[in-house]
Amino acid sequence: MGTEWKKSSYSGGGEGNDCVEIARVPPHIAIRDSKAPSRAALTFPAGAFVTFVEALKDGGRALRRDALTPTGGWQPTERVAALLFVDFDGMAAGPEDVISDGLDGGYRSRTGALREVLRDSSEDPAGRFLACVALTRWGDPVGYEMVVRVAGFPESVPWRGATYDRLYGQDDTFGVLADAVGDSSDMVEERGTATQRLKAAESLLNVADRVPFDRHISSLLRQDVVTACLDVIKVTVARGVVRLTEEPPRYDLGLQLALMINAAGRVDRSWSETAACNLKAANPGERALKEL
């Protein structure tokens, strides 16, 4: 039986008389333009589709650009699908929803298998990336360990490009990991991994002048991390300013440095003021200047 398409209640009635059709393709939801059904359809995990629709109601301004499901028609292997595309009630879901639901204790039933996925070099890189994000968000020591490892060789990480910032068209895998590390502060007491979390945060801050984080860097700039990693932040900012003056990267390094400088100012105001002046002199870009 072929896919059954139905007119969606989200179809518009504006000048373009847009008409959207929707179909369930378990475990995904697909949408297409009814006036051009032969064109490619957009496919979302069920959880991500809800987020997409809510964002459209706001004119797309709230649309998340860091959706975890990799792009380019990627499909998870059977074991990754079972671990991260099926929720704890056995229903189809997106990785974001599974990871969030796992915070209430469900993580215990999937941690062992996800560790195996992460450590398996023969597993699809995007699947290993999702496993790393899940474990890290759950405050798992193996997840933190992998974050430290990939930060040591950021240019050769096999899963680079598994997720992209949809607005700027750049890899944001390190940004997603930064969110996982930062947000996992609510798990470290239960898991006993506070030290490992700080080490992972430090390793990411140490490469913030080499890879794109964009505003995700803010996830690593909470007070506890800034206090513990202040020296690393200072060194990274100094290197980044030099890079801006010599060979600016394609991503917005200036913004990342500005956010780091501002956060460090809560601990060392004098250094922050000097660093801000140095960054301004390096022509960091409009977004950075608005932060300084």
Domain boundaries, the chain: 1-64, 68-206, 221-292
- Residue 281 confidence (pLDDT): 97
**141-152 and 111-119 helices cross at what angle (nearest 10)?**
20
Three-state SS sequence of the chain: CCCCCEECCCCCCCCCCCCEEEEEECCEEEEEECCCCCCCCEEEEHHHHHHHHHHHHCCCCCCCCCCCCCCCCCCCCHHHHHHHCECCCCCECCHHHHHHHHCCCHHHHCHHHHHHHHHCCCCCHHHHHHHHHHHHHCCCHHHHHHHHHHHHCHHHCCCCCCCEECCCCEECHHHHHHHHHHHHHHCHHHHCCHHHHHHHHHHHHCCCCCCCCHHHHHHHCCHHHHHHCHHHHHHHHHHHHHHHHHCCCCCCHHHHHHHHHHHHCCCCHHHHHHHHHHHHHCCCCHHHHHHC
DSSP β-bridge partners for residue 171: 164
Span 167-191, pLDDT tens digits: 777 889 999 999 999 999 999 999 9
- Residue 245 confidence (pLDDT): 95
| Overall pTM surpassing 0.95 (yes/no) | no
User: Any idea of the CA torsion for 43, 46, 49, 53, to the nearest 10 degrees?
Assistant: 140
Phi, psi of 285 (to 5 degrees): 110, 160
DSSP 3-state percent helix, strand, coil across the chain (nearest 5)? 55, 10, 35
CB of 251 closer than 8 Å to CB of 168 = yes
Locus of tokens 């801000």:
276
- Residue 17 confidence (pLDDT): 45
- Residue 50 confidence (pLDDT): 52
Distance (Å, rounded) from C-alpha 130 to C-alpha 259? 26
Distance (Å, rounded) from C-alpha 35 to C-alpha 17? 10
Can you list the residues of the chain whose pLDDT is less than 70? 1-3, 5-20, 24-29, 33-73
- Residue 212 confidence (pLDDT): 95
- Residue 23 confidence (pLDDT): 72
Which residue type does 235 have?
V
Lookup: tokens for 265: 């100012």
